[in-house]
Amino acid sequence: MYRLLAGINLAGMVAVLFYRVTNIPHDTLSLKLLWAAMTLSELWFVLYWIINQAVRWDPIYRSTFKDRLSLRFEEELPGVDAFVCTADPWKEPPLLVIGTVLSLMAYDYPPEKLSVYLSDDGGSDLTLYALLEASAYSKHWLPFCRKFKIEPRSPAAFFSTNPDPPLTSSQEWSTMKSLYDGMANRIEGAVSLGRVPPEIREEHQRLFSDWNPATNSRDHPAILKILIGGGDSKAVDNNGWPLPTLVYLAREKRPGYAHNFKAGAMNALLRVSSEISSAPIILNVDCDMYSNDSQSVRDALCFFMDEKTGRQVAFVQFPQRFNNVTKNDIYDTSILIYNGVNAHGFDRFEGTAYVGSGCFHRREILMGRKYSDDFKGDLNGRIWRKPLENLDILEERGKFVASCASEENTMWGTEMGLIYGSPVEDVITGLAIQCRGWRSVNFNPKRAAFIGVAPATLNDTLIQRKRWCEGTFQIFLSRYCPFVYGKGKISLGLQMCYSIYALWAPNSLPALYYAFAPSLCLLHDISLFPKISAPWSIPFLYVSISTYVYNLVEVLLLGGTFKIWWNGQRMWMIRRVTSYFFAFLDSMLKLVGMGEMKFTVTSKVVDADATARYENEIMEFGIASPMFIVMTTVAVHNLVCLTALVFKVVVNGIKVLDALFFQATLCGFIVLLSLPIYEAAFLRTDKGRLPTSVAFISVALTLAISFLALR
């Protein structure tokens, strides 16, 4: 049914383009230029729509049978190393980080085969202190999880979703909650004071000996602390079960060395873990993305250990889900369409994208191995842990491979580990792995495997999307362009799938033209579309209506609502004139050597007032961002043009709409989408409103544009 709809849509789009090239106006040069730009914009939309068909043409959906895995391989399950990355204790609170760590330690998996590594790129002793508290709490928490088979296994998430103790275990529940509250209070107290309690520092001198007053996040030696495991044979929980290995790492940072952001942190973890546990399977998650299903590690192994196709699988990617998305998803942060549709379409071409969190990898493939037909891929029976060694020796060896000098004159960042040079190191690494002959798997279970925290302000949302957009566009402009680097290595369908996101940035140009030119022409009664009474209006009407109706149906089928769809349309417009446009500009500047790569950590902390507004689905602006100026100018410009049109209709009658119907509809649609922007700019008085300076500049720009157009 979809293929039939797509065929009809394509016919309608071809008809629109045919109208453009056969009805070029001959009035003035300026009108010809307007018409030509309109034609090029619509041609781009058609080409981009065709590329988008790759993910919708034949999606596939997978399921696993974990009971069969247990029956056949329970005694031979491979070791798993879980990597958690954090970068800033103020934007990513330590209590949030250890919730993720504890959820991974509590996996339903043999604990002696599980190791959890925390990479702290902030180099903060507060994060280590939180991890120390978590290591002590795990001795109580893991037996509790095993006994009652609870989900989720992040303490904060569990107690927030189960606020009242169950009748069958009220005493144990209350004890565990009390222990957690005590730990949380101690951690938050230390963070608020900005220092580790002196008695803790005195008691654990070995752990905190590497910090001194001169230590800072950008200049410090490698710090490696094995809190559980290594040569410690006493690492057991309260029931006598072994505890998973737990390791803290702050890789060396020096001003003269590029640290390569998250990719550098992941590569340091790869080297350090090779010295300690060297598990054949690696899981990486962001610090705010706790495990929501203790069985997800077994789900991943169902693909890796499958006899027919498992040896070809490089990584298994689970979707990112978020627990703080508002009822109507005001910022469109749930990535509903990607998780529900696009990722499954990627998977059809045996190459779903690596999206940086919630992903299980084969270690040897991350280390640069190319696929060959003789690769066995056996995981059962593999050595999953190195022999126990002296703790100090292990730590010293790990510090050496976490030093800045350890990567000099090596293939790290090019042929080994995650690839350097892109803000989206995950996407480019996944593409490179697939071009080496490996396949990947997307698995979207009914119960979310991982749940994280989505940005709760518009500015954070746009900055995050700008980073994704800029990174993928830079991939397209580099030697890793899917159509160049992937030629002959991956299928054309997979090249198209990657290009959907790699071409986000240039999408901003036709979107901006559509946001300004048609409405601007209303001031001069210039029509850029056929009359609504003419037969040529039919393909324009059909393409517009079918596109929006299908998108609405798609959202509804994925469990969304009309308001979720409407908010998605608003964010579609906002992102294209802000995040995508600025990502395009920055990419062009970098291309000519006038910019450098930056990585901004999205804050997971929002003040109480902003949180209240977010929960009430009131858009949060609050700062004078250049992106807000462009967005507000688009909104005010279309409001001015629509007001001028209404005045003309009042004076000259409804007949003026015959030639201007499509432009009036487009202008009115943008105005409706922009209602929260007008409210924030001119009506609201709270701290989350648009700053007066933004509103003033936007109005001034709108008046200048209108004046020039009238001249």
Q: What's the CA gap between 415 and 32, in Å, rounded?
A: 50
DSSP states of 584-614 as a string? HHHHHHHHTT------PPPP----HHHHHHH
Give, in order, the Cα–Cα distances in Å from 657 to each of 391, 525, 532, 706.
80, 10, 8, 20
Q: What's the CA gap between 302 and 73, in Å, rounded?
A: 10
Give, in order, the Cα–Cα distances in Å from 335 to each of 192, 338, 340, 503, 617.
34, 5, 8, 17, 17
Q: What's the CA gap between 360 and 380, in Å, rounded?
A: 16
Beta partners for residue 81, in sequence order: 115, 282
Q: What Rg do the C-alpha atoms of the chain give, in angstroms?
A: 28
Structure tokens at 412: 């790290």
Q: Would you say 694 and 632 are in contact if contact means Cβ atoms under 8 Å apart? A: yes
SS3 content of the chain, % helix, strand, coil (to 5): 55, 10, 35
Q: In what order do the strands lie in the sheet with 114-120?
A: 223-228, 245-250, 114-120, 80-86, 281-286, 359-362, 313-317, 439-442
Q: What's the CA gap between 313 and 438, in Å, rounded?
A: 6
Cα 664 to chain centroid, rounded: 36
Q: Is 426 a catalytic residue?
A: yes
Active-site annotation holder among 120, 426, 460, 586:
426
Q: Would you say 616 and 328 are in contact if contact means Cβ atoms under 8 Å apart? A: no
Q: What's the CA gap between 633 and 115, in Å, rounded?
A: 52
Q: Residue 148's CB: how many other CB atoms inside 10 A?
A: 14
Q: Which of 515, 508, 429, 432 is nearest to 470 (CA)?
A: 508
Structure tokens at 629: 């100026």
Q: What's the CA gap between 313 and 310, in Å, rounded?
A: 5
Active-site annotation holder among 88, 121, 125, 586:
121
Q: Which of 604, 547, 275, 220 is nearest to 404 (CA)?
A: 220
**What's 338's DSSP letter?**
I
- φ/ψ (deg, to 5) at 220: -160, 155
Q: What's the CA gap between 529 and 518, in Å, rounded?
A: 9
Q: Would you say 245 and 230 are in contact if contact means Cβ atoms under 8 Å apart? A: yes
Pairing of strands 313-317, 439-442: parallel
| Residues taking part in catalysis | 121, 426
